[in-house]
Structure 1
Amino acid sequence: MQATEDLKLLIDAAHASGDIARTYFQADPEVWHKDGNAGPVTEADLEIDTMLRTDLLAARATYGWLSEETEDDEARLSHDRVFIVDPIDGTRAFIAGERHFSHSLAISENGRITTAVVYVPMMDLLFAATDSSAATLNGAPIAASSQSVVDGATVLATKPNMDPNNWVGSVPNIQRKFRPSLAYRLCLVAQGRYDAMLTLRDCWEWDIAAGDLIVRKAGGIVTDRHDSPLMFNSPHPKTKGCHAAGPNLHKALQAKIRQPEF
């Protein structure tokens, strides 16, 4: 099956990405700042991006390409299958010498993710899923939390998400936690270590593509902030936020998110 073959390809590429990242980790890599306040990029990001683009497209010449560190080419829109990758998700953490960064690799087919890998190299954690297999962590099955009530739920989110203007009624009584990589946050929800993750601002596809499938194949639900399923390889590759949780909690937490008035 194509997804199984693609999964092996992504796993090998993720390990190769980790090998490169380790050589630069806590070694003062060169850093540049992108235009438009788009954040930092390091020589490690660029080296990994070049390796991934070269190796993955050599193996799958008919697939398109979307990466945070490659100038976008609208030719990807003509491909049914597209690689969607973030060479280092959590670049600021990587620069700071913090271990919670990841490599996020996914393949979309007609807008939905079919194959996904997120690798956290400094902890040797490899999360994976295909559309025909369960989500795993280092080969063992994982499952999203069974938490069903909002009160006391552990939710990975940045502080601005808890602004009262974002919520119906009062701000929910959750235990807010944080990790710098969106891809890793999604995987922690898939693993059941946290009950939910939430970001209400628009998300780049490469940050959440792999995690979307991993959460769903772990039994969770992933939507945008308006409760719509995520679609990928869009002309403008952003989603309207991202909300992931187990099936019971997702419905309860989603009901508390304030929606715009039209």
Structure 2
Amino acid sequence: MNLRYAVHFIADLWLAWWADKEELETAYNVTGQPSNITYITSNLDTNESAAIYAGIVAILLLLNFVRAFYCFSVMLNSSKKLHQKMFAALIRAPILFFDTTPTGRIQNRFTKDVGIMDDNLPLTFYVVIQLMLLVFTTVLANAIFNPYSLILVVPIGFVFMLLWRYALITTRPIKRLDGTTRSPIFSHITTTMEGVQTVRLHRRQTEFIQRFKDLQDRHTEVWFLYLVTQRWFLTRVNILLFLFGASITYAAVITKNRKQTFSNST
């Protein structure tokens, strides 16, 4: 995965050098004044530079497939091992465990937790590592081409850490409450299915249906609160990213204008 982002960084550098070389050649064709700046692509024509860039992009695509296959293979094996260990521990559990532990809690562990390992964790891990490396390469590229951008990294990173810590402290109890309100639903369904004949005999279907609706509504309230906290955090992160991108663009424009003014004056 690190190799993939190293190639991505090289592709960005090559594209930047190529664009600067083309800009200098265009300025030379207009003004007739040669430039003293030498780029890696100075001895290459446009077709050769485009071919090298296409080769870098092809390597990048190949590394993307390898990275995706490797990450999901590792996560799939982890999920299998977790399920096997949980099932083995459940089989060897004493009778007292089944007498004191609700059935819904056991089902919740094998459905919700294993489902997270199968569905959410691989994609989340993949996206988190991808974003971390992408942010690192982006900051490194900006530091090379515009060192003044590093001034903005420290305060924005500090604000992001504060938001992340606040969101983590808030979402942890909500996530725990989600598991607490989910287990009674499974317990109620299991109890109802085991005693469905007794329920029908005493004509208590309406009460059991209403009980299920109440449990479902309680869990939905907690889940909605969890989604709201996630959206709150993502909205503020997007605002920080927008401010960082706008500041970098503005600083790049000012730096370029100053360089052009200095070159024209000399």
Bigger RCO (CA 8 Å, 6+ sep): 2
Q: Quick check: which one's strand share is greater?
A: 1
Specify the TM-score bucket, using the shorter chain as the normaliser: under 0.3
Q: What TM-score does the superposition give when structure 1 sets the normalisation length?
A: 0.20
Q: What TM-score does the superposition give when structure 2 sets the normalisation length?
A: 0.20
Q: Quick check: which one's helix share is greater?
A: 2
* Structure with bigger gyration radius: 2
